[in-house]
A = this chain, B = another copy of it.
Amino acid sequence: MGTVTQESAKPPRAPAVTRRAVLDAATRLIEQQGVAGLSMRKLAAELGVAVTSIYWHVGNREALLDELVQEMVHGLDTLPARGTTPTARVLSLALELRRVLRGHPHLIGLVNERGLTPAMFLPSQRALVAEISAAGLRGVRAAETVRALQYHVIGFILVERHTDRSPEQHPSAEELWLAEPSSDGDLAEALATPVDADRLFARSTEALVRSLLADQ
């Protein structure tokens, strides 16, 4: 079954809607209102069509989400590793991965819920393996290193997905740190400022990579 149902020639009648159109409209809805904002009826209305047509084209809601997730996962197939040293190359992979995933903030939660995180990571896992082998790691240690990096990167992304839109905690962490009597005023002040996720990710990932590749 190619993209849709008709391979080349004979749709008895021009379909009012295509599988592709359904997927695209669903993507649009999710990007606007989040996964919870995607309802089959809204989707049908958006396309000017009855609900049953949606069901005919994509099965059901779960299958629709599965499809979107699969498409995104396949979009991660070829991530480039740049740089000269293994550390730099591994780091660039991690940064690139985060950059791409942040383009689909609503989907990465679904990916994880479906237990597809390993699958999503598989292509970059290959690249990681190459770099880590080049760095001289072998066998079980190398495998552990690869997985540690995977968990770190995807975990970071999962965390930062929500910490942005914190619901204004009343004693916010920032206020608490400013009130705290501390010996290190600079530290307190630094903890009282919002997180710079880009910088934090780069630093922590680099620290982890260094440690994993270096320590023996």
Contacts and interface: CB of A to CB of B under 8 A. Distances in A.
Interface of A: 112-119, 122, 125, 129, 133, 138-140, 142-144, 146-148, 151-152, 154-167, 169, 173, 176, 183-184, 186-187, 190-191, 195, 199-200, 203-204, 207-208, 210-212, 215
A161 to B, nearest CB: 8
Contacts of A138: 184, 186-187
25 contacts: A112-B159, A112-B162, A115-B166, A115-B169, A116-B167, A119-B173, A122-B173, A125-B191, A129-B191, A133-B184, A133-B187, A138-B187, A142-B190, A144-B190, A147-B200, A148-B203, A148-B204, A148-B207, A151-B155, A151-B204, A152-B152, A152-B156, A152-B208, A204-B208, A210-B215
B159 A154 contact: yes
A114 B140 CA distance: 38
Query: Chain A contact residues: over half helix, strand or loop, or mixed?
Result: helix
